[in-house]
Structure formats: structure tokens, C-alpha cells
Amino acid sequence: MSSLARVTPGEFCAVDADPRRRHHDPEFDPPRSPGPGPPHLLPQDYQRLVGNPFLAVLGLILWSGALRLALHARNLRFTLLLFACLAGIAFLLQYHCLDCGATGWLFRWRVHACDQVLARRRTGRILRFRGPVPTIQALLWCYLLLVAAILAWIALPPSYWEL
């Protein structure tokens, strides 16, 4: 009998399954990981941005007031024009950069990379405390304003809300 007959099938699998024992073949094996590089490459980890929904909320308040007047006057053209302009209120959502003071459209906050952000990214200096991302900040502000509006609606007399 040969020595191969004494080896059980489980032993063959154990040898083949452990990649650390095998020699790495660059032609057939997948490339190894390059090792520990910079921990974060996303610019979001180095930004200091604040979400600002207040201009959009003001636009929405003015829009609803104009809609109320258009419906009260039974002006169909003005009502349709107002509904056509409703999507434009989303362009009033903004972010502000605490480093360079830039203001931009909220839905493009991920691409903001001023000199300070790039310097932090280059050195790998991640901010120790990071709040929520600007879109979540804006959403939280909207919830807070909604709660304040509901409380004002409850607290103020009904005659206050009439035209």
C-alpha cells in the first residue's frame, strides 16, 4: 500500500483551505490588500458643515400664503403657477461651511472640499466630534419648526389665523 492511502479526505481539505500556508501566486491569486492605508478617504469625514432649511421654510410659508390668496381669489392661473414653482423651494435648502464660510445647495454638500477640508484630509486628521450630516440637521430643524408651529397653533386664538 502506498502512503497516500492512509491520508483521510479531511486532511486534504485542511491543507488546501488554509491560505496562509500557501505561497502567494501573483498570476492566479487575487491581489493582497495593500495594508493599512488612510482610514477614511471620504471628504465628509473632514468637513464641518451646517444644514440650513430656514430659507426654504420661509419660502414655503410665503408659498402657502400666496396659495391661500390665489384660492381665495379663485385665480386658476396663479394657482397653477404656484404649483409649478413648488419644486423650486427645494433649491432654497442650503449648507454652510464652518471653515471657509461657503454656502451651497444642500443636496450637493458631499462634494464641498475647500482648502481646510483638503488639508485635514491630506494629513488624515479626522474631526473628533461630528454631528449629523447636513441633510439630517436640516430635517431635525424642520421637525423642530413643525413642533413650534403646532404649539403656536394651539396657543394662539383662532382669530389670529384668519385673513
43, 82, 99, 135: which one contacts Zn ion (CB under 5 A)? Answer: 99
Nearer to Zn ion, 49 or 70 (CB): 49
d(CA 22, CA 92): 59
**Grid cell digits, residue 141:** 430643524
What is the spatial distance between Cα 60 and Cα 18, in angstroms, rounded to a whole number? Answer: 62
Segment near Zn ion (CB under 5 A), from 10-18, 60-68, 84-92, 99-107?
99-107
Radius of gyration of the chain from its Cα atoms, rounded to whole angstroms: 30
Pick from 106, 113, 129, 114: which is nearest to 52 by CA? 106
Closest distance to Zn ion from the beta carbon of 124 (Å): 18
Do the beta carbons of residue 48 and residue 97 sit within 8 Å? yes
Q: Please state the closest distance from residue 121 (CB atom) to Zn ion, in A.
A: 12
Interface region with Zn ion, contact rule CB under 5 A, candidates 6-14, 19-27, 106-114, 138-146: 106-114
Exactly one of 50, 60, 92, 114 binds Zn ion (CB under 5 A); that residue is 114
List residues binding Zn ion (CB under 5 A): 97, 99-100, 102, 114
